[in-house]
Amino acid sequence: TPLSSLLLGHFGIGLVGLFGIFLAGRKLGKAYETIERQAAIDALTEIPNRQSFSDTMEREFKRSQRERAPLSIIMCDIDHFKEYNDSYGHSNGDLCLKKVAQAIRSSLKRAGDFCARYGGEEFIVLLPNTSTDGARHVAERMRLKVEEMGIAHKESLPAQIVTISLGVATSKDTATMVSIEDLTKYADVALYKAKEQGRNQVQ
């Protein structure tokens, strides 16, 4: 009957409409995922960015306080990077940053370990439930990985290759745990000490 045809027609249009909404919803969901990923990842090095580190650090710091477990961070800096850029150009500088970032990331073995670009030529690593000795071991592995790439850097003496300096700090399993800001500052002070004492080393 005409009424049945009309109802079927409307039902068909409704189904097409629902399918369209479903597809649009999926596309929108994927777009949001892309935006979220871009907000958390450093575009150049393809590792997490500073904001992503801050969010992860806050979460892990609270967890380490709850569980009374040590939390270590490593701050590292590419030695004489300004001179590298001046000598080899910014496109090579960008490539160098990418390679160092990937070397740092590949040095991390556990799922919970986290690295990010902290800014410029500086990187930061978060090691939950890790003692000072454990963090020093990871930092030394990172230092060696970068050194072993053998990226030429004529201005970086005495090695004349790209190297990194690293500072380690640990929030110990004690009743009076330091703040996030203090822990970051201690790692920064240790990094400065590594640079002061000749670079390409862990402090």
The full length of the chain comes to: 203
Given 121, 140, 147, 155, which residue is catalytic? 121
Partners of residue 78 on adjacent β-strands: 164
Q: What is the pLDDT of residues 116-153, one digit of tens each?
A: 999 999 999 999 999 999 999 999 999 999 999 999 99
Average pLDDT value for the chain: 88
Q: The whole model's pTM is what?
A: 0.81
83 is catalytic: no
For residues 130 and 162, what is the distance between their CA atoms, to the nearest angstrom? Answer: 28
Q: What pLDDT sits at residue 38?
A: 56
Among 202, 45, 43, CA closest to 123: 45
Among 149, 174, 177, 183, CA closest to 163: 149
- Mean pLDDT for the stretch of residues 164-174: 86
pLDDT band at 159 (very low <50, low <70, confident <90, very high): confident
Q: What pLDDT sits at residue 15?
A: 72
Q: What pLDDT sits at residue 24?
A: 61
pLDDT for residue 32 is more than 50: no
Q: Please give the structure tokens belonging to residue 81.
A: 């990077």
